[in-house]
Structure 1
Amino acid sequence: MSTLIALPRILRIGADALADLPAVLADMGCRRPLIVTDDYLVSTGAVTRIGEGLRAAGIEFAVFGDVVPDPTTDSLKPAADLVRTEGCDAVIGFGGGSSMDTAKAVALLATTDRPMREFKAPTLTDEPLLPIIAIPTTAGSGSEATRFTVITDSETGEKMLCPGIAFLPTAAIVDHTLTSSMPPRLTADTGIDALTHAVEAYVSRKANPFSDSFALTAISTIGRYLRRAFADGADDQAREHMMLAATQAGIAFSNSSVALVHGMSRPLGAHFHISHGMSNAMLFPAVTEFSVGAATARYADCARAYGVADDAHSDEAAAALFVAELRQLNHDLEVPAPHDLSIDPDQWAGLLPTMAEQALASGSPQNNPVVPTADEIAAIYRSIF
């Protein structure tokens, strides 16, 4: 049985790769892109600097600077309308995962009148959209290399996973210098997000030799450099390695899958507005402990790649060390528990059945080494509170 592997057609990786954006657009035959970003990157002048480079190359552009965290279907409409009114022929996602997810969805909605909910999993969307260029400014989501977007339905509150090759960026520009101003909290949350991507890709029921190689390389790199990037944001070597690892982890899970952590994290964002990376970090140790017995050798490989075990350890010992390290990593990177965020415990308890069903409905838990029941998912939610 074959495995479908899909990658961006163009990848520009390295310091100051952002300067290659005009050349990338020219290679794609695009002359009027829409830059999709957030108000912070507009306020810092980063978008202005991109615009100067584009104008110098004779490329006109429009800017949508109102991306919201965890983008919603309502938040997409003004950007899609702007593509049409400005006659844009490409969409550039510039920012974190929310900006890139918004850009992917806008590239679709600008070409159809169908609502976004019609494109959520298990529907696969493979027809061509407007070309998408992804430029990440955080080292975590991996969205620059994935065939997914995640959008919250404004009417129902459901956080929808929308899959398909249509959402895979045509080009990605991976420039680690764009992450140098990331604060420690964002560095931690996005870094653990990238680690979660790599580990879930490796232990997924859809894992394959191609995704395995990217996953293990990313795990090894993150094990060496995440704490360094968290401790010193000016550590250029750590920033460079974390940025590359995040892209490698994105390639891994895009060509394998994520699993239970991601299925459970989406309801936390939808109901409590916890960032995606932080939601993953909260869940990662408990979900790994729940899952490890069904894929002990695979988790042991993760432990050895990460650097907390070696060949002298049995698989069982290595896997146990990995679970312990995930808990220690959360401690060292100051990941809060839900109760630390002043979430009402009665509200949390009351939403457990709904969140468990939403997690299962996402499809991701079905890729987990242990496919959980709704009651088991609720128990994990209860344990992390």
Structure 2
Amino acid sequence: MKDFNFKIPQTVEFGIGSLKKLQAILEENNSKNVFLISDRGLEKIGVVKKVLDILDNAGVTVSSYLDVVSNPTVDNVNECTKSYKDSEANVIIALGGGSPIDIAKAVGVLATYGGKITQYEGAHIVPGPITPIIAIPTTAGTGSEVTASAVISDEERNYKFSIFSYNNIPKYAILDPELIMTLPEFIAAPTGLDALIHAIEAYLSTAATPFSDAMAEKAMELIGANLRQFVANRSNEDAACAMMLGSNFAGIAFAWARLGNVHAMSHPVSAFFHVPHGTANSIILPTIMEYNALADNGRYEKIYNYIKTSKDKTENFVPEILISEIKKLNKDLKIPASLGEVGVTKDKIEVMAQDAMKSGNVLVNPRKTSLQDMINLFEKAI
């Protein structure tokens, strides 16, 4: 067994109604001036007000930035950083899916160390601890509340880049399943699949360890048994709890094992064609599972047993059985069958393939991948 290390450098609060623990966290840290980062969608449905009411009761000064967009941009980061500095707050509360939490991480870096956010592109460039972040996820998908990455779109380059540093991990995470029980189906399905893909790619990664495997396996168990039920009825409390916790465990898994070709490919798809991250990943997954099947060492069958709908014992398992089950899952959750169906065109294949090859995730994909392989994979997915 190869050497590895891990740490869980934060406090995670989980449970129905755990949002109310925000006040105690602020009091514990003597936080009197906070900065809230979220988006207009959550403001519209009243989730932002829930948090503002708690902050009002806590008697703290609050400033906010609510203009975070899907696939957040460098401009988004710069605007939010300016607002944060003007507020003179010393704690960031990130409320939302991956986008507000990623913005919060980027703001935490710039507010602490200055410069341009593109200077921190890559791995382990952030020099030290950043502004404390309290992450409150409102989707069961990204796991960003426990991961080391912030993913930002550079519109000048049509490129999504990652800032990977364990300094980025929020100090606190509050996992309240009530916050995902009002999600619309069109968000619950791709974000839930995204969480499952995090677990699958971490599990298949060549950088996987017994620690990441434990997190990934439990994530697949929770998500596999509850994803369909949750999408069918988001008010199903047990399914919501399982999805919220499964997403969190999947995030921990890939924080330490990285991901693979699915995520390497989805980032340029989102950068060039603005396809939502979870949707892009879900569409690409069957193509990559087919490609990686040659490298399977028995883990495909384990994944299948977590996500299959049949209770019967599977005889003479082959990887194609898992791939068929994934395609069926996508179809059940109304995920388009190809990238072409969401507007991705072949004229960008070569540049997207080049961008995908820059991802560190390609290096830990279970099957080696050349630039020509990547071009072929995009052609197949489109």
Superimposed CA distance per residue, residues 143-198 of structure 1 (whole angstroms, 9 cap, x where no aligned partner): 01101110011321210011001110100000010011111111110011001000
* Letter in structure 2 aligned against 1:360: M
Provide the residue aligned with 1:332 in structure 2.
332
> Distance in 2 between the 1:309 and 1:220 partners?
14
Say whether 1:29 aligns with 2:30: yes
Superimposed CA distance per residue, residues 13-33 of structure 1 (whole angstroms, 9 cap, x where no aligned partner): 010111001111222332211
* Letter in structure 1 aligned against 2:329: L
Measured after TM superposition, the shift of residue 305 of structure 1 is 2.9
Measured after TM superposition, the shift of residue 95 of structure 1 is 0.6
Say whether 1:146 aligns with 2:143: no
Q: Which moved more, 1:195-204 or 1:318-327?
A: 318-327
> Distance in 2 between the 1:361 and 1:173 partners?
33
Provide the residue aligned with 2:267 in structure 1.
266
* Letter in structure 2 aligned against 1:14: G
* Letter in structure 2 aligned against 1:370: R
* Letter in structure 2 aligned against 1:358: D
> Distance in 1 between the 2:331 and 2:308 partners?
18
Identical pairs, percent: 32
Provide the residue aligned with 1:89 in structure 2.
90
**Residue among 350, 357, 360 paired with 2:354:** 357
Q: Indicate if the aligned counterparts of 1:42 and 1:48 stay in contact, CA closer than 8 A.
A: yes
Aligned pairs for 1:269-308 (under 5 A) are 269-307=270-308
> Distance in 2 between the 1:353 and 1:7 partners?
39
> Distance in 1 between the 2:308 and 2:380 partners?
27
Say whether 1:319 aligns with 2:325: no
Superimposed CA distance per residue, residues 313-335 of structure 1 (whole angstroms, 9 cap, x where no aligned partner): 57x71533211111111111111
Q: Indicate if the aligned counterparts of 1:308 and 1:318 stay in contact, CA closer than 8 A.
A: no
Aligned pairs for 1:164-243 (under 5 A) are 164-243=165-244
> Distance in 2 between the 1:70 and 1:280 partners?
14
Q: Indicate if the aligned counterparts of 2:188 and 2:231 stay in contact, CA closer than 8 A.
A: yes
RMSD (Å) for aligned C-alpha atoms:
1.8
Report the 3-state secondary structure (helix = DSSP H, G, I; strand = E; otherwise coil) of the residue aligned with 1:111: helix
**Residue among 370, 374, 381 paired with 2:371:** 374
> Distance in 1 between the 2:113 and 2:314 partners?
55
Q: Is there any run of 5+ residues in structure 1 with no aligned partner, and where? A: none
Measured after TM superposition, the shift of residue 8 of structure 1 is 4.2
**Structure-2-length-normalised TM-score:** 0.95
After superposition, the Cα gap between the structure-2 partners of 1:298 and 1:44, relative to the gap in structure 1 and judged at 3 Å, is same
> Distance in 2 between the 1:249 and 1:68 partners?
24
Q: Indicate if the aligned counterparts of 1:121 and 1:362 stay in contact, CA closer than 8 A.
A: no
After superposition, the Cα gap between the structure-2 partners of 1:274 and 1:341, relative to the gap in structure 1 and judged at 3 Å, is same
* Letter in structure 1 aligned against 2:367: V
Measured after TM superposition, the shift of residue 69 of structure 1 is 0.7
Measured after TM superposition, the shift of residue 78 of structure 1 is 1.7
* Letter in structure 2 aligned against 1:380: L
Measured after TM superposition, the shift of residue 2 of structure 1 is 3.8
Report the 3-state secondary structure (helix = DSSP H, G, I; strand = E; otherwise coil) of the residue aligned with 1:125: coil
Report the 3-state secondary structure (helix = DSSP H, G, I; strand = E; otherwise coil) of the residue aligned with 1:296: coil
Report the 3-state secondary structure (helix = DSSP H, G, I; strand = E; otherwise coil) of the residue aligned with 2:12: strand
